[in-house]
Amino acid sequence: MIFHLDLDAFFVSVERILDPQLDGKAVVVGGDPDGRGVVAACSYEARSFGIKSGMPIKTAFRLCPKGIYLHGHGDEYRRYSELVEDLLKKYAPIIEQASIDEFYVDFGGCEKIYGSLYLFAQKIQREVMDKLFLPISIGIGRNKMIAKICSDFSKPMGITYVYPGMEKDFLEPLPVEVIPGIGPVLQRELNNRGIYRISDILKLSGDYLFVAFGKYGRDLWEKANGRGIEVLSTAEHKQKSISKETTFEKDVISKIFLEEVLSILTAKVCHTLRKKGFLASTITIKLRYSDFITYNRSKTVKFTNDEKEVYEVALKLLRDANKRRVGVRLVGINLSNFTNFCFQEMLFIEEREKRERMLRAVDELRRKYGYSIIKSKGAGIDSI
Protein backbone atom coordinates (compact mmCIF):
# COMPACT_ATOMS: atom_id res chain seq x y z
CA MET A 1 0.00 0.00 0.00
CA ILE A 2 1.36 3.36 -1.07
CA PHE A 3 0.82 6.64 0.77
CA HIS A 4 0.85 9.92 -1.14
CA LEU A 5 1.45 12.77 1.29
CA ASP A 6 0.66 16.22 -0.06
CA LEU A 7 1.32 19.30 2.08
CA ASP A 8 -1.72 21.60 1.86
CA ALA A 9 -1.03 25.08 0.40
CA PHE A 10 2.56 24.44 1.45
CA PHE A 11 4.17 27.81 0.65
CA VAL A 12 1.31 29.64 2.36
CA SER A 13 1.50 27.30 5.37
CA VAL A 14 5.19 28.12 5.80
CA GLU A 15 4.51 31.84 5.43
CA ARG A 16 1.92 31.54 8.20
CA ILE A 17 4.48 29.89 10.47
CA LEU A 18 6.80 32.85 9.82
CA ASP A 19 3.96 35.35 10.33
CA PRO A 20 0.93 34.02 12.28
CA GLN A 21 -1.01 37.20 11.43
CA LEU A 22 -1.57 35.69 7.97
CA ASP A 23 -3.85 32.99 9.43
CA GLY A 24 -7.35 33.04 7.96
CA LYS A 25 -6.47 35.63 5.30
CA ALA A 26 -6.35 35.47 1.50
CA VAL A 27 -2.62 34.99 0.87
CA VAL A 28 -0.96 34.78 -2.55
CA VAL A 29 2.70 33.81 -2.95
CA GLY A 30 4.37 34.85 -6.18
CA GLY A 31 5.23 38.54 -6.19
CA ASP A 32 3.88 42.07 -6.34
CA PRO A 33 0.43 42.52 -7.89
CA ASP A 34 1.89 45.18 -10.22
CA GLY A 35 4.59 42.79 -11.44
CA ARG A 36 4.81 40.21 -14.20
CA GLY A 37 4.98 37.13 -12.03
CA VAL A 38 2.54 34.29 -11.62
CA VAL A 39 0.85 32.75 -8.60
CA ALA A 40 3.16 30.14 -7.07
CA ALA A 41 0.69 29.23 -4.31
CA CYS A 42 -2.39 30.63 -2.66
CA SER A 43 -4.38 30.02 0.51
CA TYR A 44 -7.78 28.35 0.44
CA GLU A 45 -9.28 31.73 1.34
CA ALA A 46 -7.73 33.17 -1.84
CA ARG A 47 -8.96 30.21 -3.89
CA SER A 48 -12.52 31.12 -2.98
CA PHE A 49 -12.06 34.21 -5.19
CA GLY A 50 -11.10 32.03 -8.17
CA ILE A 51 -7.33 32.38 -7.76
CA LYS A 52 -5.21 29.36 -8.63
CA SER A 53 -1.56 28.42 -9.13
CA GLY A 54 -0.02 29.50 -12.43
CA MET A 55 -2.39 32.46 -12.82
CA PRO A 56 -0.78 35.85 -13.63
CA ILE A 57 -0.39 37.94 -10.49
CA LYS A 58 -2.24 40.85 -12.12
CA THR A 59 -5.24 38.60 -12.79
CA ALA A 60 -5.18 37.39 -9.18
CA PHE A 61 -5.12 40.98 -7.96
CA ARG A 62 -8.18 41.85 -10.06
CA LEU A 63 -10.02 38.91 -8.50
CA CYS A 64 -8.88 39.68 -4.96
CA PRO A 65 -7.48 43.22 -4.55
CA LYS A 66 -7.58 42.98 -0.75
CA GLY A 67 -5.44 39.84 -0.65
CA ILE A 68 -1.93 39.73 0.82
CA TYR A 69 0.72 39.27 -1.90
CA LEU A 70 4.14 37.90 -0.94
CA HIS A 71 7.40 37.16 -2.76
CA GLY A 72 7.97 34.07 -0.62
CA HIS A 73 10.93 32.51 1.21
CA GLY A 74 12.40 29.74 -0.94
CA ASP A 75 15.06 28.72 1.56
CA GLU A 76 12.43 28.24 4.26
CA TYR A 77 10.27 26.12 1.94
CA ARG A 78 13.21 23.82 1.26
CA ARG A 79 14.07 23.64 4.96
CA TYR A 80 10.55 22.63 5.99
CA SER A 81 10.37 20.12 3.14
CA GLU A 82 13.53 18.47 4.49
CA LEU A 83 12.04 18.42 8.00
CA VAL A 84 8.97 16.58 6.70
CA GLU A 85 11.19 14.07 4.92
CA ASP A 86 13.23 13.50 8.09
CA LEU A 87 10.01 12.83 10.02
CA LEU A 88 8.82 10.29 7.45
CA LYS A 89 12.17 8.49 7.50
CA LYS A 90 11.41 7.40 11.06
CA TYR A 91 8.66 5.14 9.73
CA ALA A 92 9.80 4.00 6.27
CA PRO A 93 13.22 3.31 4.75
CA ILE A 94 12.12 4.15 1.19
CA ILE A 95 10.67 7.54 0.35
CA GLU A 96 10.16 8.98 -3.11
CA GLN A 97 9.95 12.77 -3.11
CA ALA A 98 7.80 13.82 -6.05
CA SER A 99 8.19 17.57 -5.45
CA ILE A 100 9.03 19.99 -2.66
CA ASP A 101 5.61 19.35 -1.07
CA GLU A 102 4.78 15.77 -2.18
CA PHE A 103 6.07 12.42 -0.97
CA TYR A 104 5.31 8.78 -1.80
CA VAL A 105 5.93 6.17 0.91
CA ASP A 106 5.38 2.40 0.54
CA PHE A 107 3.85 0.81 3.65
CA GLY A 108 2.92 -2.47 1.99
CA GLY A 109 3.01 -5.32 4.51
CA CYS A 110 3.39 -2.93 7.46
CA GLU A 111 -0.02 -3.59 9.01
CA LYS A 112 1.60 -5.97 11.52
CA ILE A 113 3.91 -3.14 12.60
CA TYR A 114 1.61 -0.13 12.50
CA GLY A 115 -1.85 -1.69 12.64
CA SER A 116 -4.64 -0.03 10.67
CA LEU A 117 -3.06 2.01 7.87
CA TYR A 118 -5.88 4.55 8.06
CA LEU A 119 -5.25 5.11 11.78
CA PHE A 120 -1.51 5.19 11.10
CA ALA A 121 -2.08 7.90 8.46
CA GLN A 122 -3.93 9.90 11.11
CA LYS A 123 -0.91 9.52 13.41
CA ILE A 124 1.46 10.86 10.73
CA GLN A 125 -0.93 13.70 9.94
CA ARG A 126 -1.11 14.73 13.60
CA GLU A 127 2.65 14.49 14.03
CA VAL A 128 3.37 16.71 11.01
CA MET A 129 0.90 19.27 12.36
CA ASP A 130 1.99 19.08 16.02
CA LYS A 131 5.74 19.19 15.37
CA LEU A 132 5.98 21.27 12.19
CA PHE A 133 2.63 23.13 12.17
CA LEU A 134 2.01 22.02 8.57
CA PRO A 135 -1.37 20.70 7.35
CA ILE A 136 -1.08 17.63 5.15
CA SER A 137 -3.48 15.42 3.19
CA ILE A 138 -2.83 11.72 2.68
CA GLY A 139 -4.02 9.33 0.00
CA ILE A 140 -3.67 5.55 0.34
CA GLY A 141 -3.94 3.06 -2.51
CA ARG A 142 -2.35 0.06 -4.13
CA ASN A 143 -0.46 2.22 -6.67
CA LYS A 144 0.93 5.73 -7.00
CA MET A 145 -1.84 7.03 -9.25
CA ILE A 146 -4.64 5.98 -6.91
CA ALA A 147 -2.76 7.35 -3.89
CA LYS A 148 -2.25 10.71 -5.59
CA ILE A 149 -5.91 11.04 -6.62
CA CYS A 150 -6.89 10.10 -3.05
CA SER A 151 -4.73 12.82 -1.50
CA ASP A 152 -6.57 15.44 -3.58
CA PHE A 153 -9.97 13.96 -2.79
CA SER A 154 -10.68 15.63 0.55
CA LYS A 155 -8.28 18.53 0.98
CA PRO A 156 -7.26 20.13 3.25
CA MET A 157 -6.22 17.78 6.07
CA GLY A 158 -8.04 14.84 4.51
CA ILE A 159 -7.27 11.12 4.46
CA THR A 160 -8.72 8.90 1.75
CA TYR A 161 -8.08 5.16 1.58
CA VAL A 162 -9.14 3.01 -1.38
CA TYR A 163 -9.07 -0.69 -0.52
CA PRO A 164 -7.48 -3.04 -3.06
CA GLY A 165 -10.07 -4.17 -5.59
CA MET A 166 -12.23 -1.03 -5.13
CA GLU A 167 -10.27 1.19 -7.52
CA LYS A 168 -12.79 1.20 -10.40
CA ASP A 169 -15.71 1.85 -8.04
CA PHE A 170 -13.84 4.82 -6.59
CA LEU A 171 -12.81 6.27 -9.96
CA GLU A 172 -16.01 5.83 -12.02
CA PRO A 173 -17.95 8.93 -10.82
CA LEU A 174 -14.93 11.26 -10.87
CA PRO A 175 -14.27 13.83 -13.64
CA VAL A 176 -11.61 12.82 -16.16
CA GLU A 177 -9.31 15.69 -15.18
CA VAL A 178 -8.48 14.05 -11.84
CA ILE A 179 -6.34 11.52 -13.73
CA PRO A 180 -2.69 12.62 -13.52
CA GLY A 181 -1.48 13.79 -16.93
CA ILE A 182 -4.78 15.16 -18.19
CA GLY A 183 -4.28 18.88 -18.75
CA PRO A 184 -6.65 21.51 -20.17
CA VAL A 185 -5.94 20.61 -23.82
CA LEU A 186 -6.59 16.87 -23.44
CA GLN A 187 -9.58 17.56 -21.20
CA ARG A 188 -11.16 19.68 -23.97
CA GLU A 189 -10.49 16.92 -26.52
CA LEU A 190 -12.13 14.34 -24.26
CA ASN A 191 -15.09 16.62 -23.52
CA ASN A 192 -15.56 17.25 -27.25
CA ARG A 193 -15.98 13.49 -27.67
CA GLY A 194 -18.57 13.35 -24.88
CA ILE A 195 -16.12 12.05 -22.29
CA TYR A 196 -16.59 13.92 -19.03
CA ARG A 197 -16.25 11.29 -16.32
CA ILE A 198 -14.01 8.28 -15.88
CA SER A 199 -17.11 6.10 -16.26
CA ASP A 200 -17.35 7.44 -19.85
CA ILE A 201 -13.84 6.16 -20.54
CA LEU A 202 -14.71 2.73 -19.16
CA LYS A 203 -17.56 2.45 -21.68
CA LEU A 204 -15.04 2.66 -24.52
CA SER A 205 -12.57 0.07 -25.71
CA GLY A 206 -8.84 0.41 -25.30
CA ASP A 207 -8.48 0.11 -29.09
CA TYR A 208 -10.74 3.14 -29.65
CA LEU A 209 -8.69 5.24 -27.24
CA PHE A 210 -5.47 4.09 -28.88
CA VAL A 211 -6.73 5.12 -32.33
CA ALA A 212 -8.04 8.45 -30.99
CA PHE A 213 -5.11 9.44 -28.77
CA GLY A 214 -2.20 7.18 -29.66
CA LYS A 215 -0.02 5.71 -26.91
CA TYR A 216 -1.53 8.03 -24.32
CA GLY A 217 -4.97 6.62 -25.14
CA ARG A 218 -3.80 3.17 -24.05
CA ASP A 219 -2.28 4.69 -20.88
CA LEU A 220 -5.55 6.51 -20.24
CA TRP A 221 -7.45 3.23 -20.43
CA GLU A 222 -5.10 1.62 -17.90
CA LYS A 223 -5.44 4.56 -15.49
CA ALA A 224 -9.25 4.63 -15.79
CA ASN A 225 -9.22 0.98 -14.75
CA GLY A 226 -7.21 1.85 -11.64
CA ARG A 227 -3.87 0.50 -12.79
CA GLY A 228 -0.61 2.29 -12.11
CA ILE A 229 2.96 2.02 -10.87
CA GLU A 230 3.11 -0.05 -7.69
CA VAL A 231 6.77 0.43 -6.74
CA LEU A 232 8.62 3.56 -5.71
CA SER A 233 11.67 4.90 -7.50
CA THR A 234 14.73 4.52 -5.27
CA ALA A 235 17.19 5.92 -7.80
CA GLU A 236 18.91 9.08 -6.68
CA HIS A 237 18.21 11.97 -9.02
CA LYS A 238 21.41 13.94 -9.32
CA GLN A 239 20.98 17.66 -9.63
CA LYS A 240 22.12 18.70 -13.10
CA SER A 241 22.13 22.47 -12.76
CA ILE A 242 21.67 25.40 -10.39
CA SER A 243 20.12 28.58 -11.72
CA LYS A 244 18.73 31.95 -10.68
CA GLU A 245 16.92 34.50 -12.82
CA THR A 246 15.02 37.75 -12.38
CA THR A 247 12.11 39.09 -14.40
CA PHE A 248 11.99 42.86 -14.13
CA GLU A 249 8.75 44.71 -13.45
CA LYS A 250 9.79 47.27 -16.09
CA ASP A 251 12.10 46.70 -19.05
CA VAL A 252 15.71 47.59 -18.23
CA ILE A 253 17.98 49.64 -20.50
CA SER A 254 20.90 50.32 -18.14
CA LYS A 255 23.76 47.90 -18.75
CA ILE A 256 25.33 48.84 -15.41
CA PHE A 257 22.14 47.86 -13.58
CA LEU A 258 21.97 44.54 -15.46
CA GLU A 259 25.55 43.75 -14.47
CA GLU A 260 24.80 44.53 -10.81
CA VAL A 261 21.78 42.22 -10.89
CA LEU A 262 23.90 39.52 -12.52
CA SER A 263 26.44 39.96 -9.70
CA ILE A 264 23.79 39.24 -7.06
CA LEU A 265 22.41 36.25 -9.00
CA THR A 266 25.95 34.89 -9.35
CA ALA A 267 26.49 35.23 -5.61
CA LYS A 268 23.31 33.26 -4.95
CA VAL A 269 24.05 30.35 -7.30
CA CYS A 270 27.64 30.10 -6.05
CA HIS A 271 26.43 30.06 -2.45
CA THR A 272 24.10 27.17 -3.32
CA LEU A 273 26.95 25.45 -5.15
CA ARG A 274 29.23 25.63 -2.09
CA LYS A 275 26.40 24.59 0.24
CA LYS A 276 25.94 21.39 -1.80
CA GLY A 277 29.67 20.74 -1.97
CA PHE A 278 29.78 21.01 -5.77
CA LEU A 279 32.16 22.53 -8.30
CA ALA A 280 30.79 23.58 -11.70
CA SER A 281 32.49 24.01 -15.05
CA THR A 282 29.76 25.26 -17.42
CA ILE A 283 28.45 28.80 -16.99
CA THR A 284 25.39 29.97 -18.92
CA ILE A 285 23.70 33.35 -18.94
CA LYS A 286 20.15 33.97 -20.14
CA LEU A 287 18.96 37.29 -21.52
CA ARG A 288 15.38 37.95 -22.62
CA TYR A 289 14.43 41.18 -24.34
CA SER A 290 11.11 43.01 -24.14
CA ASP A 291 10.06 41.46 -27.48
CA PHE A 292 10.65 37.99 -25.89
CA ILE A 293 13.66 37.20 -28.07
CA THR A 294 15.93 35.19 -25.76
CA TYR A 295 19.68 34.63 -25.90
CA ASN A 296 21.62 31.94 -24.03
CA ARG A 297 25.41 32.11 -23.94
CA SER A 298 27.61 29.41 -22.37
CA LYS A 299 31.26 28.78 -21.64
CA THR A 300 33.01 25.81 -20.04
CA VAL A 301 35.94 26.56 -17.75
CA LYS A 302 37.92 24.71 -15.09
CA PHE A 303 35.83 23.47 -12.17
CA THR A 304 35.12 26.19 -9.62
CA ASN A 305 32.71 27.38 -6.93
CA ASP A 306 34.31 30.83 -6.63
CA GLU A 307 31.88 33.59 -7.56
CA LYS A 308 34.65 35.99 -8.66
CA GLU A 309 35.75 33.44 -11.27
CA VAL A 310 32.17 32.67 -12.25
CA TYR A 311 31.17 36.34 -12.45
CA GLU A 312 34.13 37.25 -14.68
CA VAL A 313 32.98 34.66 -17.22
CA ALA A 314 29.27 35.46 -16.83
CA LEU A 315 29.92 39.18 -17.28
CA LYS A 316 31.76 38.61 -20.57
CA LEU A 317 28.90 36.38 -21.76
CA LEU A 318 26.34 39.03 -20.80
CA ARG A 319 28.20 41.77 -22.61
CA ASP A 320 28.49 39.55 -25.67
CA ALA A 321 24.74 38.87 -25.65
CA ASN A 322 23.53 42.37 -24.79
CA LYS A 323 24.13 44.07 -28.16
CA ARG A 324 20.60 45.11 -29.09
CA ARG A 325 19.12 48.54 -28.37
CA VAL A 326 16.05 46.97 -26.81
CA GLY A 327 14.93 46.86 -23.19
CA VAL A 328 15.71 43.69 -21.22
CA ARG A 329 12.89 41.79 -19.56
CA LEU A 330 14.84 38.98 -17.83
CA VAL A 331 18.40 38.08 -16.90
CA GLY A 332 19.60 34.82 -15.38
CA ILE A 333 22.59 32.57 -14.76
CA ASN A 334 22.89 28.78 -14.78
CA LEU A 335 25.73 26.58 -13.51
CA SER A 336 26.02 22.97 -14.68
CA ASN A 337 28.43 20.10 -15.31
CA PHE A 338 29.12 19.38 -11.64
CA THR A 339 31.77 17.44 -9.80
CA ASN A 340 32.49 16.98 -6.09
CA PHE A 341 36.27 17.02 -6.52
CA CYS A 342 38.77 18.37 -8.98
CA PHE A 343 42.40 17.19 -9.15
CA GLN A 344 43.48 20.65 -10.28
CA GLU A 345 42.50 22.00 -6.87
CA MET A 346 45.26 19.91 -5.25
CA LEU A 347 47.93 21.96 -7.03
CA PHE A 348 47.04 25.07 -5.07
CA ILE A 349 45.57 23.56 -1.95
CA GLU A 350 47.01 26.12 0.52
CA GLU A 351 45.75 29.11 -1.49
CA ARG A 352 42.47 27.34 -2.04
CA GLU A 353 41.94 26.72 1.68
CA LYS A 354 42.46 30.41 2.44
CA ARG A 355 40.00 31.33 -0.30
CA GLU A 356 37.44 28.79 0.96
CA ARG A 357 37.65 30.21 4.49
CA MET A 358 37.06 33.69 3.14
CA LEU A 359 34.11 32.53 1.03
CA ARG A 360 32.53 30.81 4.04
CA ALA A 361 32.81 34.11 5.93
CA VAL A 362 31.16 35.88 2.99
CA ASP A 363 28.34 33.31 3.01
CA GLU A 364 27.76 33.92 6.71
CA LEU A 365 27.68 37.71 6.29
CA ARG A 366 25.18 37.40 3.46
CA ARG A 367 23.05 35.01 5.48
CA LYS A 368 22.77 37.66 8.20
CA TYR A 369 22.63 40.86 6.15
CA GLY A 370 21.59 39.91 2.58
CA TYR A 371 23.36 39.43 -0.73
CA SER A 372 23.72 43.13 -1.48
CA ILE A 373 26.17 43.72 1.38
CA ILE A 374 29.09 42.25 -0.63
CA LYS A 375 29.10 42.28 -4.43
CA SER A 376 31.48 41.59 -7.29
CA LYS A 377 31.92 44.92 -9.04
CA GLY A 378 33.30 43.69 -12.33
CA ALA A 379 35.54 41.29 -14.19
CA GLY A 380 39.16 41.55 -13.19
CA ILE A 381 38.44 43.31 -9.88
CA ASP A 382 39.12 41.17 -6.81
CA SER A 383 36.43 42.75 -4.63
CA ILE A 384 35.69 39.52 -2.80
Distance (Å, whole) CA 271 – CA 360: 9
User: Residue 101: inside a domain, yes or no?
Assistant: no
Q: Which residue among the candidates 76, 102, 230, 260 is catalytic per the annotation?
A: 102
Whether residue 98 lies inside any domain: the answer is no
Check residue 141 and give its pLDDT.
94
End position of a domain, from candidates 59, 74, 89: 74
172 assigned to some structural domain: yes
Sign of CA dihedral 243, 247, 248, 253: positive
- The count of structural domains within the chain is 3
Task: Identify whether 384 is part of a domain.
Answer: no
Cα gap 311→316, rounded to integer Å: 8
115 belongs to a structural domain: no
Based on the fold, state whether residues 323 and 288 are members of the same structural domain. yes
What pLDDT shows up at residue 79?
A: 92
Chunked into runs of 10 residues, the chain (384 residues) has average pLDDT values of: 93 95 94 78 94 88 93 88 92 84 87 86 96 96 94 92 93 92 84 92 87 83 88 67 88 92 92 84 93 90 89 94 91 87 39 58 66 51 41
DSSP state of 21: G
Taking each helix axis as running N to C, give the angle between helix 215-224 and helix 206-213, from 0 to 180 degrees, rounded to the nearest 10: 140
Considering the domain architecture, whether residues 316 and 290 belong to the same structural domain is answered as yes
Q: Are residues 196 and 256 in the same domain?
A: no
Q: Which of 88, 84, 101 is nearest to 12 (CA)?
A: 101
Rounded to whole angstroms, how far apart are CA atoms 49 and 244?
A: 31
Final residue before a domain boundary, out of 46, 74, 102: 74
Q: What is the pLDDT of residue 298?
A: 93
CATH code of the domain in which 269 resides: 3.30.1490.100
Do 351 and 260 lie in a common domain?
Answer: yes
141 domain residue, yes or no: no
Q: How far apart are CA 172 and CA 285, in angstroms?
A: 49
The CATH number of whichever domain residue 176 belongs to comes to 1.10.150.20
Q: Give the pLDDT of residue 358.
A: 65
Residue 210 and residue 274 share a domain? no
Residue 182 lies inside a defined structural domain of this protein:
yes
CATH number at residue 15: 3.40.1170.60
Instruction: Write down the pTM of the prediction.
Output: 0.64
**Which helix (H) or strand (E) segment is 16 a member of?**
helix 10-18
Same domain, 316 and 211: no
57 & 24 share domain:
yes
289 shares its domain with 351 = yes
Pair 219, 250 in one domain = no
82 catalytic residue (yes or no): no
In terms of domains, do 250 and 357 share one? yes
Could you list the residue range(s) of the whole structural domain that residue 68 is in?
Answer: 10-74
Cα separation, 167 vs 304, whole angstroms:
52
353 and 266 in a single domain? The answer is yes
pLDDT computed for residue 34 by the predictor: 77
Q: Are residues 194 and 263 in the same domain?
A: no
Domain end position, chosen among 74, 101, 125: 74
